[in-house]
């Protein structure tokens, strides 16, 4: 099926079993807390594995002048050492402009060139991890360093306009921004900077690879199985059907596991040569360079308005970096194109290529850092206008998408702001900064809007019922800790009228029907819609076996009832069972309506007048994200994303040594992510919403919405508390002290 028209009423609307929307426990929760859910490194298949360890380059740019692996090869337990001198032949990197950048060939040690610090220069395989790691230290590398560009600030003048991306124009213009801004009664013109961010997943990247009958089986931490399958096939120059990717459990993705990396390629090549399984895990320190990170950005936001607070000019310019050999652009200004009304608009992206590891999607790419700038600029404008920040946003609520000139599928931003204000006690906020004190602590409140684009991607699914009446679902979709196993089980159980315990959910295998995987908050909507279609088709087949019209059939308690007759699913399935396939494709609704999820963030902070220390006291998010499939997992997603927003605002910053191009704070001791001590009361609520323009489930993405705008609410609260307007994230105490007018 495709989405060429609004989704009609369906069994999920009826929700006769009451499974949809309930705060149900995760179906895989017990397995995980008991250690029974095998992650990639823990899988044991194909025989006794050898262990690999990657030797990383210790210069930021240049070449390997000489490498001596003889001592490593003679070390105890060592089976194989690859360098650029003996690594198997692989495809060249790329292509640069591939439609699926995660399916590109990513060769390892294809030549002596060093493109970034941490690049693989050797790979040691031994009987045990300890032996491989010990031998890796014996590899002697002589480098010929070259001058590299590692510092973003020092190289900003080199930034260039990037080509448009496959589904995204990099610049946009409506009306005459320059004239409107020049003649506006009230203006804001501010620059904001955001640093490099690291994904910091709990599970390190790891791979187990083995070959069987000419086919490589790879267990790894991957968000997108089909892309991973193609990446391996393209790199090793073999047919895609000779590659099987399995990723049943993933300990956090956040975009860092959208691609697969050298641990996958090297393990696969070594396993082929040794004719035994090879497993490789990255250390935490290796993950900082060997995998991707979020681009640093420099953003300029210009807003022009009438004295009554009506926006007449909206401009957002952003510069971000990528690896020298890549072309990834963090789409930092996309939310600015749709969030507020205004006749004259301009957004631009500029790309600066540096000699650093690959930058790529990280935790709500685009909106997460773009909103840090836009929503702080809106707060600055509200102050200049002497308007409440919520009132300013309400006055600039658009009737239709101001750039696409199409209606919104649904839009409840104003409701989220007003309900959030009531829940949070926003009326107690003091408009003038530094008016509320508790001893030497200054107390302030801030708010920001939230927005995240909604996506629907093609997805397939297979559903069957066996002679015991057990429903089995197969699709290549992954669960990266978001609750995929649970919400899909709810959908299948509700659609087919069986208890959740009678659903066997099989995910995470590229041999299963193709899905887009997990990422971009499109997973549940896309794979769930493919599942929905398969269930609808299976309902029809079961009704046909009973000789009734499916429209008159009721599916409940493992039975089908129609025309005064009742049959169990087991009876209808018979000895050979019954199976149906499903598929979803985006259609006309994607272009006919602007599809976004919305929300509002509220934060209260305390700032120490003597030290500049910032403490978050409480935080609230109110969101409109279509139908909520599971209130517990959705709330977990929203609050977790809000906590990431706290990290972006107050803590996270990966520091590059501008001389050598490496991340100095390359572990979780030096790279601070929010901990329990940083996070007090964080609450998330969802307003009622069903969006029939998005997909047959009538849902929207949830996972990344909660981070978009969260950090700006904290920045605005810091200003309200003490008068320090910090535009350089993260907001650390030294920056607060330098900007704070009050002592």
* Whether 722 contacts 433, CB under 8 Å: yes
Written as one string, the DSSP assignment of 208-255 is EEEEETTEEEEEE--S-HHHHHHHHHHHHT--GGGEEEE-S--S--TT
Within 10 Å of residue 195's Cβ, how many Cβ atoms?
20
* Whether 478 contacts 508, CB under 8 Å: yes
* Whether 648 contacts 730, CB under 8 Å: yes
With tokens 């395989």, the residue in question is: 125
Instruction: Give the span between the Cα atoms of 586 and 349, in whole angstroms.
Output: 27
User: Count of H helices and E strands in the chain?
Assistant: 18, 27
> Which of helix, strand or coil describes residue 432?
coil
Nearest one of 716, 727, 729, 574 to 647, comparing CA atoms: 729
Phi–psi pair at 619, nearest 5 degrees: -150, 145
Q: Any catalytic annotation for residue 403?
A: no
Q: CA torsion sign, 619 to 623 to 625 to 629?
A: positive
Instruction: Give the span between the Cα atoms of 31 and 485, in whole angstroms.
Output: 12
Collect all residues with Cβ–Cβ distance below 8 Å to 86 and sequence separation of at least 6: none
> Which of helix, strand or coil describes residue 28?
coil
With tokens 């013109």, the residue in question is: 189
Instruction: Give the span between the Cα atoms of 668 and 662, in whole angstroms.
Output: 16
Instruction: Give the span between the Cα atoms of 515 and 533, in whole angstroms.
Output: 13
733: Cα separation from own chain's centroid: 29
Q: What's the Cα-to-Cα distance from 519 to each of 88, 449, 451, 653, rounded to whole Å?
A: 32, 22, 16, 23
* Whether 449 contacts 600, CB under 8 Å: yes
Q: Which of 330, 494, 689, 704 is catalytic?
A: 704
Could you tell me whether strands 559-562 and 565-568 are parallel, antiparallel, or unpaired per DSSP bridges? Answer: antiparallel
* Whether 513 contacts 475, CB under 8 Å: yes
* Whether 693 contacts 409, CB under 8 Å: yes
Instruction: Give the span between the Cα atoms of 519 and 703, in whole angstroms.
Output: 9
Task: Tell me the two tokens of residue 25.
Answer: 């426990």
Instruction: Give the span between the Cα atoms of 366 and 361, in whole angstroms.
Output: 8
6: Cα separation from own chain's centroid: 27
Collect all residues with Cβ–Cβ distance below 8 Å to 57 and sequence separation of at least 6: 64, 114, 116, 117, 118, 119, 120, 121, 141, 143
> Which of helix, strand or coil describes residue 167?
coil
Catalytic residue numbers? Answer: 704
């Amino acid at each position: 099926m495709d989405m060429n028209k609004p989704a009609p009423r369906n069994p999920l609307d009826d929700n006769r079993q009451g499974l949809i929307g309930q705060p149900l426990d995760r179906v895989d929760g017990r397995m995980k807390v008991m250690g029974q859910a095998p992650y990639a490194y823990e899988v044991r298949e194909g025989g006794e594995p050898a262990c690999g360890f990657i030797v990383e380059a210790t210069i930021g740019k240049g070449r390997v002048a000489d490498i001596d692996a003889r001592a490593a090869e003679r070390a105890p337990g060592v089976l194989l050492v690859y360098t650029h001198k003996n690594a198997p032949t692989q495809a060249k990197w790329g292509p640069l402009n591939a439609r699926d950048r995660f399916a590109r060939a990513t060769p390892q040690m294809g030549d002596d060139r060093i493109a970034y610090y941490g690049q693989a220069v050797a790979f040691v395989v031994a009987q045990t991890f300890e032996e491989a790691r010990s031998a890796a230290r014996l590899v002697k590398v002589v480098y010929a360093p070259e001058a590299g560009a590692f510092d973003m600030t020092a190289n900003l003048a080199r930034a260039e306009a990037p080509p448009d991306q496959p589904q995204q124009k990099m610049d946009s213009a409506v009306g005459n921004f320059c004239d409107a801004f020049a003649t506006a009664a009230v203006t804001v013109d501010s620059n904001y900077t955001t640093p490099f961010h690291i994904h910091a997943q709990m599970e390190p990247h790891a791979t187990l690879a083995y070959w069987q009958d000419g086919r490589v089986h790879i267990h790894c931490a991957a968000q997108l199985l089909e892309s991973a399958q193609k990446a391996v096939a393209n790199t090793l120059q073999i047919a895609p059907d000779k590659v099987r990717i399995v990723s049943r459990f993933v300990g956090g993705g956040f975009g860092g596991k959208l691609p697969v990396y050298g641990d996958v390629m090297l393990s696969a090549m070594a396993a082929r040569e040794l004719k035994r399984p090879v497993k490789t895990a990255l250390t935490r320190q290796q993950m900082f360079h060997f995998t991707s990170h979020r681009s640093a950005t420099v953003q300029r936001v210009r807003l022009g308005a009438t004295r009554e607070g009506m926006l007449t000019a909206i401009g957002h310019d952003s510069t971000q970096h990528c690896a020298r050999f890549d072309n990834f652009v963090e789409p930092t200004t996309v939310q600015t194109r749709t969030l507020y009304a205004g006749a004259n608009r301009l957004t631009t992206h500029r790309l600066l290529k540096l000699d650093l590891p690959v930058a790529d999607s990280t935790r709500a790419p685009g909106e997460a850092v773009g909103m840090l700038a836009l929503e702080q600029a809106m707060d600055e404008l509200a102050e200049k206008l002497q308007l409440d920040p919520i009132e300013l946003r309400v006055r600039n609520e658009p009737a239709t998408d101001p750039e696409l000139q199409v209606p919104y599928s649904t839009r409840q931003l104003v409701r989220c702001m007003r309900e959030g204000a009531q829940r949070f006690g926003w009326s107690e906020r003091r408009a003038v900064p530094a008016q509320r004190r508790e001893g030497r602590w200054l107390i302030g409140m801030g708010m920001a809007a939230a927005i995240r684009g909604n996506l629907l991607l093609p997805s397939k699914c297979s559903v069957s019922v066996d002679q015991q009446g057990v429903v089995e679902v197969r699709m290549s979709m992954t669960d990266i800790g978001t609750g995929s196993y649970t919400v899909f089980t709810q959908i299948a159980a509700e659609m087919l009228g069986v208890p959740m315990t009678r659903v066997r959910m099989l995910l995470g295998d590229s041999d299963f029907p193709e899905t887009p995987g997990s990422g971009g908050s499109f997973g549940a909507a896309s794979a769930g819609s493919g599942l929905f279609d398969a269930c609808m088709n299976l309902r029809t087949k079961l009704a046909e076996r009973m000789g009734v019209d499916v429209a008159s059939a009721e599916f409940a308690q493992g039975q089908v009832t129609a025309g005064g007759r009742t049959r169990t699913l087991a009876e209808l399935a018979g000895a050979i069972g019954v199976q149906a396939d499903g598929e979803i494709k985006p259609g006309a609704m994607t272009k006919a309506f602007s599809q976004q999820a919305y929300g509002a963030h509220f934060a209260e902070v305390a700032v120490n007048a003597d030290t500049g220390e910032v403490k978050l006291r409480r935080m609230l998010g109110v969101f409109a994200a279509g139908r909520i499939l599971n209130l517990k997992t959705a709330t977990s997603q929203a609050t977790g994303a809000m906590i990431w927003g706290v990290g972006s605002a107050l803590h996270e910053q990966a520091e590059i040594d501008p001389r050598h191009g490496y991340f100095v704070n390359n572990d979780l001791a030096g790279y601070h992510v929010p901990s329990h001590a940083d996070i007090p009361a964080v609450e998330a609520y969802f307003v009622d919403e069903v969006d029939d323009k998005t997909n047959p489930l009538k849902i929207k993405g949830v996972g990344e919405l909660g981070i978009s705008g969260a950090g700006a609410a904290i920045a605005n609260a810091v200003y309200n508390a003490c008068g320090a307007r910090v535009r350089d994230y993260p907001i650390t105490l030294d920056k607060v002290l330098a900007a704070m007018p009050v002592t």
